Amino acid sequence: MSQAPDSAAHAASTVPDAFDAAFDGQAPPLRLAVIGAGPAGLALALLAARYLPQAQVSLFDARPLERDVSGDPRTLALSLGSMQLLQRLRVWPAAQAQPIREVHVSQAPPTLSSPWFGPSGEPEVRISAAEQAVPQLGAVLAYGQLVAPLQAAWQQASALEPRRLVSRFGQAVDGLKQDRPDEIEIDAGIAERFDLAVVAEGGVFSEQARKSLTRDYRQNAWVGTVTLAPDSPVGVAYERFTRRGPLALLPLPDRDGQRRAALVWCQPQDEDEVEGLSDAQRLAVIQQQLPDRVGRLLGISPLKCFPLGLNAERTLVEGRRIRIGNAAQTLHPVAGQGLNLGLRDAFALVEALRRDPQVDQALRRVEWQRAPDRWATILTTDFLARTFAWRWPGLPAARGLGLAALQAMPPLKRALAGQMMFGRR
């Protein structure tokens, strides 16, 4: 059972003194606060627990510990690099994840057609794990299936080292302020001081406070699952560029003998008619827009709608506060890179703190190191998202030629595959 918030705050407030005593005569411990126990925050806390033995880590989340997160059905697409990080932490739920062995990106008509574009005559890019000499390109699983083992691993670690690793579930952080250059104050029912605060809270675009760089795409994402015919290809992720926006199918593990895929269907808000369609009509529209190689769609779940936009900070670091994951940047789902960026942020931060115990120097290293990967992803995603709102003559043809050029130039395709799997390095 978790402590009541008041008793938890009192117990945690005594931790720094007890922990400092264990380091008497040595370098003072790093007091690290992680705010947000989603995938990025939990991964960061576990990395810090394992690789920063000098750190006293407090993990805050407004969610009560008793709340079961294992059934959360939201879909996550993880790159190979993210999988490897989670495997290193021994929390990768391989049995619940569906491997992605091929990614197929194509453009729906009207566009150029040519026998040079491939078997379908349409512009397309096909990236396979075999072609890249890796076992898989990534994997797809439900949010709860990832958060549950991460949280269980954190609870196990904190039970073994309760003075060093402190769980603060059920305690919302009401404010952060920095009056001194080497400390940050966190208000979570009681004011406490830390050497570093990592904000890892997520949320969707429509519910977030606006950051320094924001853009409303005026698009909706309709998400759910579809059932596929038994002879549909296994382990293939599809991204289809349509006139209205991208349409994606991500492979899911079979359930009750049925082949399934997660659906992300983007529509312009001023032309969005999805809500008024029946399930049969939705299936028919989606089927018509997908390439033939997907196979037949047999069923569709109820769909949820989320407005889309870009909401990003210009820098990760502000004083002794650093943001990672969705707290640093919320992106359009066209590239599926949001959580992957957050996990790379977490790894880079812990690695910098491991190499350099001087917090300010480590933060400068992280800011500099993460900028190329972060901005390449933000700018590419933003550009692709905005092109679907443009109605310029010849734009579909230009986009189609770009896809065809990627497919025809193996070095460029390898570079794209590397970016998808591991980020810009």
Report which of residues 395 and 227 the model is more confident about. 227
Report which of residues 19 and 172 the model is more confident about. 172
Is residue 9 predicted with pLDDT exceeding 70? Answer: no
**Domain shared by 371 and 241, yes or no:** no
* 167-191: pLDDT as tens digits: 999 999 988 999 898 899 999 888 8
Q: What is the pLDDT of residue 20?
A: 43
* 312-340: pLDDT as tens digits: 999 999 999 999 988 999 998 877 788 99
**Domain shared by 345 and 405, yes or no:** no
Mean pLDDT of the chain: 87
Q: Is residue 400 part of a domain?
A: yes
Averaged over 287-313, what is the pLDDT? 95
Q: Is residue 217 part of a domain?
A: no
Q: Is residue 113 part of a domain?
A: yes
Rounded Cα–Cα distance for residues 137 and 145 (Å): 19
Q: Is residue 416 part of a domain?
A: yes
CA distances from 251 to 56, 138, 143, 261, 378 (A): 40, 11, 15, 4, 25
**Domain shared by 93 and 105, yes or no:** yes
Q: What domain count does the chain have?
A: 2
Tokens of 369: 């190191």
Q: Is residue 296 part of a domain?
A: no
Rounded Cα–Cα distance for residues 80 and 137 (Å): 5
Strands 317-318 and 184-187, by their bridges, are unpaired
Q: Residue 380, exposed/middle/buried by CB under 10 A (0-12, 13-18, 19+)?
A: middle
**Dihedrals phi, psi of 224, to nearest 5 degrees:** 180, -155
185 within 8 A of 191, measured Cβ to Cβ: yes
Q: Is residue 57 part of a domain?
A: yes
The answer to whether the bond into 110 is cis (omega within 30° of 0) is yes
Determine what percent of the chain is predicted with pLDDT higher than 70: 89
Rounded Cα–Cα distance for residues 391 and 110 (Å): 13
Is residue 63 predicted with pLDDT exceeding 70? Answer: yes
**Domain shared by 253 and 280, yes or no:** yes
**Domain shared by 200 and 256, yes or no:** no
- CATH code of residue 135: 3.30.9.10
**Dihedrals phi, psi of 97, to nearest 5 degrees:** -100, 145
Q: Is residue 130 part of a domain?
A: yes
What is the domain range of residue 403? Answer: 75-142+223-291+394-422
**Domain shared by 27 and 125, yes or no:** no
